[in-house]
C-alpha cells in the first residue's frame, strides 16, 4: 500500500483521473477518483494537524446520533501554519478548482445536462474545504482557515481503519483491549496525521461533492491513567511486613473508644467525592417577646391606733 500513498504536501491535482459514472441508490450516482500513476484509489498522507475529535452527527431534537462518524482536520491560522500545512492546503484548493472545472467539461455525463456557466457548477458544488461564514454576508470567509472532514468507516459494527501512536505502535485494533475504538483515541484538540482515501464524487438531489475516508491515523500515545494501575512503590521490608501482618481485628471483638469528632470543614477543592447536597441552614433564633411585669400597687395598710388608758389614783 505504501507505493500508492501520495504525500499531500507534494500532491499534484493534475495527476488524477475519473471513472465512468456509476448509478447509486435514491437516483444518485458516483464517480471514482484514481491516482493516474498507479491506477488505484487516490490516497493522501497529511501533515500533522489539529483535530476537533471524532463523532457522529447528533440530532438536537432527539439527542440521537446518526451513526455516521467523521473527524475534522483543521488547517492552522497564520500564527501556527508552516510550510507543510500551507502546501497541503494549496494542493487541496487546487483539487477543488480542478473538480469544478472538470464538472463543467463533463456536465452532460455527470449531470445529464450541459452546463456552460462556471457559476452554475459552483452553485451545485458542496465544498470539501469548509470555511466559517461571514456574519453579515452569509458567504464563506476565505480569510479564515478552513477544515477538512474525513469519514471514519464503520460497517456492520466493525471499524475499518487503524490507529497508531507516534512510535508506530498499533493502538487500534488492539486484541488486548477490545473495548477501545477510534473515537477514544482521536481526541478533541489533539494533533493527528492521517492517511485518507478519496471516496470519489457523489451526485444527489442536484448537488455534488467529494468525500474522504480514514485509512490510518497517528496520534499521541495515550497518557497512562491512574485508574487501574498501581503506582505505589513499597520498600521490600514494608512489603514483607504487609505480607506477615495478622488479619485485621473484627470490630465486634474489641471495644473501641468512641471517636472524637475532629472533622474540619473541607474546602471546595477537597470535597469532590462528597454528596452535592447543600448544608441545611441553621434555624433562625426564635425571639420570644417577654413583657415586663406590671407593678401592682399595694393597698396601704390601715394604721390602727392603740389607745392606752392611763391609770388614775383612787
Question: Is there a domain that residue 19 lies in?
Answer: yes
Q: Is 162 exposed, middle or buried (0-12, 13-18, 19+ CB in 10 A)?
A: middle
Question: Is there a domain that residue 244 lies in?
Answer: no
Question: For 239-291, how does the pLDDT look when each residue is reduced to its tens digit (9 = 90+)?
Answer: 888 888 887 665 555 554 555 554 444 444 444 444 444 444 445 554 445 45
Q: Number of structural domains, the chain?
A: 1
Pairing of strands 147-151, 65-74: antiparallel
- CA 88: distance to chain centroid? 26
Q: Is 94 exposed, middle or buried (0-12, 13-18, 19+ CB in 10 A)?
A: middle
Work out the average pLDDT over 97-105.
98
Nearby residues of 56 by Cβ (< 8 Å), 6 or more positions away: 65, 66, 67, 68, 69, 70
Pairing of strands 207-219, 162-165: parallel
Tell me what pLDDT residue 280 has.
46
Pairing of strands 29-31, 22-23: antiparallel
Question: Is there a domain that residue 296 lies in?
Answer: no
- Asked if pLDDT for residue 215 goes beyond 90, the answer is yes
Peptide bond into 177 cis (omega under 30): no
Find out whether 98 and 13 touch, Cβ atoms under 8 Å: yes
Question: Is there a domain that residue 178 lies in?
Answer: yes
How many percent of the chain have pLDDT more than 70? 76
Nearby residues of 298 by Cβ (< 8 Å), 6 or more positions away: none
Residue 32 — pLDDT band, cuts 50, 70, 90?
very high
Give bridge partners of residue 209 from the DSSP assignment. 126, 202
Find out whether 72 and 54 touch, Cβ atoms under 8 Å: no
Question: Is there a domain that residue 229 lies in?
Answer: no
CATH number reported for the structural domain that contains residue 29 in this entry = 2.40.50
Residue 64 — pLDDT band, cuts 50, 70, 90?
confident
The domain of 148 spans 2-219
What is the DSSP secondary-structure string of 38-86? TTEE-EEE--SEEEEEEEEEE-TTT--EEEEEEEEEEPP-TTT--HHHH
d(CA 98, CA 138): 25
SS3 140: strand
- Asked if pLDDT for residue 185 goes beyond 90, the answer is yes
Question: Is there a domain that residue 305 lies in?
Answer: no
Tell me what pLDDT residue 274 has.
43
Residue 238 — pLDDT band, cuts 50, 70, 90?
confident
Question: Is there a domain that residue 97 lies in?
Answer: yes
What's the mean pLDDT when you consider all of the chain?
Answer: 83
Peptide bond into 25 cis (omega under 30): no
Neighbours of 253 (CB within 10 A): 6
Give bridge partners of residue 22 from the DSSP assignment. 30
Higher-confidence residue of 13 and 142: namely: 13
Q: Smallest Cα–Cα separation from 55: which of 147, 126, 200, 154?
A: 154
Query: What b/e readout covers 129-146, taking b as 16+ CB neighbours within 10 angstroms?
Result: bebeeeeeeeeeeeeebb
Question: Is there a domain that residue 282 lies in?
Answer: no
Amino acid at each position: 500500500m505504501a507505493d500508492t500513498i501520495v504525500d499531500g504536501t507534494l500532491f499534484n491535482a493534475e495527476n488524477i483521473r475519473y471513472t465512468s459514472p456509476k448509478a447509486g441508490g435514491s437516483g444518485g450516482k458516483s464517480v471514482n477518483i484514481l491516482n493516474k500513476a498507479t491506477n488505484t484509489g487516490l490516497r493522501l498522507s497529511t501533515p500533522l494537524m489539529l483535530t476537533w475529535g471524532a463523532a457522529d452527527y447528533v440530532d438536537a431534537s432527539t439527542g440521537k446520533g446518526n451513526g455516521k462518524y467523521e473527524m475534522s482536520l483543521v488547517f492552522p491560522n497564520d500564527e501556527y501554519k508552516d510550510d507543510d500545512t500551507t502546501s497541503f492546503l494549496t494542493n487541496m484548493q487546487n483539487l477543488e478548482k480542478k473538480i469544478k472545472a472538470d464538472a463543467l467539461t463533463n456536465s452532460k455525463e455527470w449531470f445529464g445536462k450541459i452546463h456552460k456557466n462556471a457559476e452554475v457548477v459552483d452553485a451545485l458544488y458542496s465544498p470539501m474545504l469548509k470555511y466559517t461564514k461571514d456574519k453579515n454576508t452569509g458567504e464563506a470567509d476565505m480569510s479564515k482557515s478552513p477544515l477538512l472532514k474525513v469519514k471514519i468507516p464503520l460497517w456492520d459494527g466493525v471499524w475499518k481503519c487503524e490507529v497508531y501512536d507516534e512510535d508506530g505502535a498499533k493502538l487500534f485494533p488492539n486484541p488486548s483491549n477490545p473495548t477501545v475504538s477510534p473515537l477514544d483515541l482521536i481526541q478533541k484538540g489533539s494533533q493527528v496525521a492521517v492517511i485518507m482515501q478519496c471516496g470519489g464524487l457523489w451526485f444527489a438531489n442536484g448537488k455534488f461533492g467529494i468525500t474522504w475516508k480514514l485509512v490510518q491515523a497517528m496520534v499521541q500515545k495515550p497518557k497512562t491513567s491512574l485508574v487501574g494501575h498501581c503506582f505505589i512503590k513499597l520498600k521490600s521490608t514494608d512489603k514483607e511486613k504487609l505480607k506477615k501482618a495478622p488479619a485485621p481485628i473484627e470490630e465486634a471483638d474489641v471495644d473501641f473508644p468512641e471517636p472524637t469528632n475532629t472533622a474540619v470543614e473541607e474546602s471546595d477543592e477537597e470535597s469532590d467525592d462528597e454528596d452535592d447536597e447543600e448544608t441545611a441552614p441553621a434555624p433562625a433564633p426564635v425571639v420570644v417577646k417577654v413583657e415586663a411585669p406590671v407593678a401592682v400597687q399595694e393597698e396601704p395598710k390601715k394604721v390602727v391606733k392603740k389607745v392606752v388608758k392611763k391609770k388614775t389614783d383612787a
